[in-house]
Copies of this chain bind each other. A is one copy, B any other.
Amino acid sequence: MPTSENGSPPVYREIAEEMRALIRSGQYADGDRLPGENTIMERHGVARATARQALSVLTNEGLAVAVRGSGIYVRLFRPVRRHGARRLSKELWGNGRAIWQTDGADRAYRVDGLRVEETAAREHVARVLGLEEGAGVLRRSRRYLVEDRPVQTAVSFFSLSLMAEHADHPAARSIRSHDSGPGGVYARLSELGLAPVHFTEEIRVRMPAPEELRELHLAAGTPVLEVARTALAAGNRPVEFNQITMDGSAYVLQYDFEA
């Protein structure tokens, strides 16, 4: 913690800590309006700039959000714990369960905006899937909501020429249709002899683009997590590339591994 000249933390930090403690203890609940600048100035005998700094500590930490023209509100949402390896284990999709069922086990979730289309692979997607740029890919995009809050969008890509090799197989048709069936696309790939055996996830963080702000209903100052996942079948054959964009305040990502 930064200290002022006499060695104690600056006043705005002290005020922020006091308010943080009130939020953590439950005295301010989710959705409550926090004291505004004027109230803080009066209560603590500080200047407006100090009051504003104290509030911005809380919004920067994601504990509160500013609603334009209204005030600063407590925002608590129990983050979704997303367990990298466990959720993608073969036992899961092999048994016809949706991957999502491990993440949101006890919580109301739904998917909307599902769109399935054929498109030309851009450079990055082509490289990951081992295709020429512009090659045909199947693109499945959708949005996930937990307790009615949008938490992530996901866009998956599959090689159309790979699908064409299995054109007559019902599993290939399922991957191209809106309902990919029990266990989802990984179960279908498995029926085609293309079961994913290895996953690579790459995580990046950045501020959202304007369209992401809107799609994920992000509060000002909320970063997004980007997870780029490649699913590889036997022989290191890439069978899916998935670009996931998450509300950074809604997730804890967990990975477990051996030494």
Contacts and interface: CB of A to CB of B under 8 A. Distances in A.
List the number of copies, as a whole number: 2
A2 B259 CA distance: 46
Contact of A259 (B197, B202, B225, B249): B197
A228 to B, nearest CB: 9
A254 interface: yes
A171 B80 CA distance: 40
Given A202-B253, A255-B84, A57 B223 contact: no
A89 B259 contact: yes
Nearest to A88: B259
Contacts of A195: 259
Given A2-B210, A210-B57, A223-B206, A200 B84 contact: no
A185 B196 CA distance: 36
A259 to B, nearest CB: 5
A211 B2 CA distance: 6
Q: Top 8 A-B pairs ranked by shortest CB distance?
A: A223-B223, A205-B248, A85-B257, A203-B253, A60-B207, A90-B259, A255-B255, A205-B205
Nearest to A195: B259
